[in-house]
Structure 1
Amino acid sequence: MKYIFIISIFCLSLAVKAQENDLMALLNDQTEEPIIYAEATFKGSRLINGHTVQTRKAKAFEFLISHRFGRLNSGAYELFGIDGANIRLGFEYGLSDRITIGLGRNSFEKTFDSFMKVKLLKQSKGRKVMPFSAVFLTSAALKTLKGQEGFTTTVSKLTYTHQLLIARKFNNSFSFQVMPTIIHRNMILVEQENSDVFALGVGGRFKLTQRVSLNAEYYQRFDVPEADLNYNSLAVGVDIETGGHVFQLHLTNSRAMIEKGFITETSGDFFNGDIHFGFNVSRVF
C-alpha cells in the first residue's frame, strides 16, 4: 500500500509538471510576435505607364482602360492632342494571391499584349522581417499594324519584356519602386538599333490625402546607339481612389501604354513640351 501511494504521488507530480509545460508553451504561442505584411504599397496595378508590385487577389478580375491623347503642343489644328488619342483595353485575373495574368489590346501600332506577374517576396515586419516586396513580370507584345516594311512574319512582330519589380512602403505616405528591365525585339529596322534593350525604371507614390496621391515614374535606357532618336520615358500624375475605382491622371512624353512601347519607342522630349495628357481607369470585380 505504501508503494502504491508513493508511485501515485510520483505520477501526479509528473502530470502537474506536464500541464505546467503545456501552459507555458500556450502562453509563449499567444505572446509570440505576429507577422505584419505591408498592404497597399500602391493603390493600383499601374504606377503610371508601368506595372507596380500589386497583384490581384485570387479569382479577382480587373478591367483597365488606359488613354493617351496626342501632344499638348500640337496646336489648335489637332485640338491640342485630342485628335491623336490612343487607347488600351486590359483584362487582368488573379490565378492566386501571388500570380496575376493579363491580356490587352492597344490602338498604338494595333498591338496585342499578354503578361504574367508572380509575387516572389512580400514586405513584412514582426516575427518575419522582409524589407521590400518583389514581383517578376514577363510579357509579350504582337504588333499587327499593316504596311510595316520588313515585318512580314508573325515572329518578326513579337517583342518580349522581363522585369523585376522591387518596392518598399516606407510609411503610410511614401512608397518607392525600382524596375530593372530587359526588352528583346525579334526584328529591328535599322542596324543602329539594339535587339536587346536594357533599362532601369524608378518611381514612387506620395499620399496627399487619404484618397489622393502624387506619382512619378522614369525609365533610363542604357547603351543607347547614337543614331537612336527616341527619349527616356518620364511621367508624373495623380491617383484618385473612389471605392472600387482608381482614377489616374497624368502627363507623360510616352504615347504607348506597354513596356515595349514607352521604354523603347518614346519619340517626344518631355522638356521640349512633347507631353501627352492621359488617364487610367480601373475597376476590380
Structure 2
Amino acid sequence: MYFNSLTMKKIVALAWIAMGCYSTSLHAQDDLLNELNQDQNKKETVSAAFKGQQICTMQSTKMAAKGEWYFLVAHRFGDLTNGFENFFGLDNALTKLGGLYGATEWLTLGFSRHTLAKTYEFSGKYRLMAQEVDGFPVTIVGYHTMDINSQLEKEEYPELSGTDRFAFSNQLLISRKFSENFSLQLTPMYIHKNLYDPLLEEKSQFLMALGGRYKFSKRCSFNWEYAQRFNTVSNDPYQNPLTVGVDIETGGHVFQLVLSNSQAMNDVSYFTTATGDFNRGIFFGFNLYRVF
C-alpha cells in the first residue's frame, strides 16, 4: 500500500511538471509567433532621399538623428556678373553660422546667425510620416522658422516695437525617393513679415516650391530648386528664387556648391526677396555641414 501511494505521488508530480513544461512551451511559441507577426507588419522605411539638410538653400526632409549635433557654415558671395568691380562677388559676401541638434529621432532644432540684417533665425523640423518600402509613398516633414531682425533702429523707425523685428516661415516638406539616384520634393509654404513695405510686397505670402536631386556618382549629386510666389504686388521688383547646386559627400560632412538668383540664406528673405534673373544677379556660394 505504501509503495502504491508513493508511486501515485511521483506520477502526479511528473504530470504537473510535464504540464508546466508544455504550458511554457506553448507560451514561448505564442511569443515567437507574435514577434514574427510584428516583424511582418512593421514597414521598412526609405532613407536618404536627400543627403544634405538642405537641397540647395531650401530645407530637405533629411533629419538629424537623436543626439546628433550639426555645425553649419554657409556663404553667398556678391553678384558674379559685376566682374572685377567686386572681385566676382568676393567683396560682398554674406555669412551664415549655425547649428542643429537632433532632440529626438523625429525632431530637429536649429539656430543660426546671418550677416544680412544681423538676423537671428530659430528653426524647428519634425517628421510627420516616413516613406515606406511597399507602403506609405512619401516622407512628410513640418518646418518652421522665426527670424529676428536686430539691425532695425529706432532712429529709422521711430514707432518700432519689439514684435516688428519678427518674421516667420511655415513649410510642409513632401519628398519621394523614386530610386537610389533620383528624389523630388514639393514644398507649400506660408511666409509672414511683421514689418514690410506695402509698395514692394505683401505682408503674408504663399509659395509653392519644387526641388530635386540626381545622384550622378557615388559621392556627388546635382540638386536644384525653384519656388513660385503667388500673391505679389502689381509692381513687384523681386524674382521667383531659383538655385542649382552640387552635393559632395566627404566622410563626416556634406559640402554643397550653389548658384542662385538670391543672395539671402534665411528662409524668409531667400524666398521673398530674390533680385537676380541669371542675366544679372548671380550669386555663388556654399553650405558646409559637419556632424558630431
TM above 0.5? yes
Q: How far did 1:19 drift? A: 6.1
- 2:284 counterpart of 1:282: no
Equivalent runs, 1:71-90 vs 2, <5 Å: 71-90=79-98
Q: How far did 1:55 drift? A: 1.2
Looking at structure 1, the residues matched to 22 and 124 of structure 2 have their Cα atoms a distance apart, in angstroms, of 56
Looking at structure 2, the residues matched to 18 and 247 of structure 1 have their Cα atoms a distance apart, in angstroms, of 57
Aligned to 2:47: 39
Where do 5+ consecutive residues of structure 2 fail to align? 1-7
Aligned to 2:185: 177
Q: Does the residue aligned with 1:210 lie in a helix, a strand or coil?
A: coil
Aligned to 1:63: 71
Give 1:276's aligned amino acid: F
Looking at structure 1, the residues matched to 218 and 234 of structure 2 have their Cα atoms a distance apart, in angstroms, of 45
Aligned to 1:139: 145
Q: How far did 1:104 drift? A: 0.5
Out of 255, 273, 276, which is 1:265 matched to?
273
Aligned to 2:4: none
Q: Is the Cα–Cα contact under 8 Å of residues 78 and 90 in structure 2 kept in the other structure? A: yes
Q: How far did 1:142 drift? A: 1.1
Out of 124, 128, 131, which is 1:116 matched to?
124
Looking at structure 1, the residues matched to 52 and 161 of structure 2 have their Cα atoms a distance apart, in angstroms, of 36
- 2:143 counterpart of 1:130: no
Q: How far did 1:191 drift? A: 4.3
Q: Is the Cα–Cα contact under 8 Å of residues 199 and 233 in structure 2 kept in the other structure? A: no
- State the Cα deviation string for residues 138-190 of structure 1 (Å, max 9, x = none): 11001122458437222112101100001111111111101101000102123
Larger Rg: 2
Q: Does the residue aligned with 1:87 lie in a helix, a strand or coil?
A: strand
Aligned to 2:264: 256
- 2:56 counterpart of 1:48: yes
Q: Structure 1's 238 and 30: CA in aligned 2 closer, same or farther, altered over 3 A?
A: same
Q: Larger deviation: 80-89 or 153-162?
A: 153-162
Aligned to 2:105: 97
Q: Structure 1's 37 and 228: CA in aligned 2 closer, same or farther, altered over 3 A?
A: same
Aligned to 2:36: 30
Q: How far did 1:35 drift? A: 2.1
Looking at structure 2, the residues matched to 106 and 55 of structure 1 have their Cα atoms a distance apart, in angstroms, of 22
Q: Is the Cα–Cα contact under 8 Å of residues 158 and 186 in structure 1 kept in the other structure? A: yes
Q: Does the residue aligned with 1:37 lie in a helix, a strand or coil?
A: coil
Q: Is the Cα–Cα contact under 8 Å of residues 108 and 255 in structure 1 kept in the other structure? A: no
Q: Does the residue aligned with 1:54 lie in a helix, a strand or coil?
A: coil
Give 1:124's aligned amino acid: E
Looking at structure 2, the residues matched to 175 and 196 of structure 1 have their Cα atoms a distance apart, in angstroms, of 30
Q: How far did 1:18 drift? A: 10
Give 1:138's aligned amino acid: H
- 2:253 counterpart of 1:221: no
Looking at structure 1, the residues matched to 29 and 102 of structure 2 have their Cα atoms a distance apart, in angstroms, of 42
**Structure 2-normalised TM-score?**
0.86
Q: Larger deviation: 189-198 or 252-261?
A: 189-198
Give 2:188's aligned amino acid: P
Looking at structure 2, the residues matched to 185 and 43 of structure 1 have their Cα atoms a distance apart, in angstroms, of 31
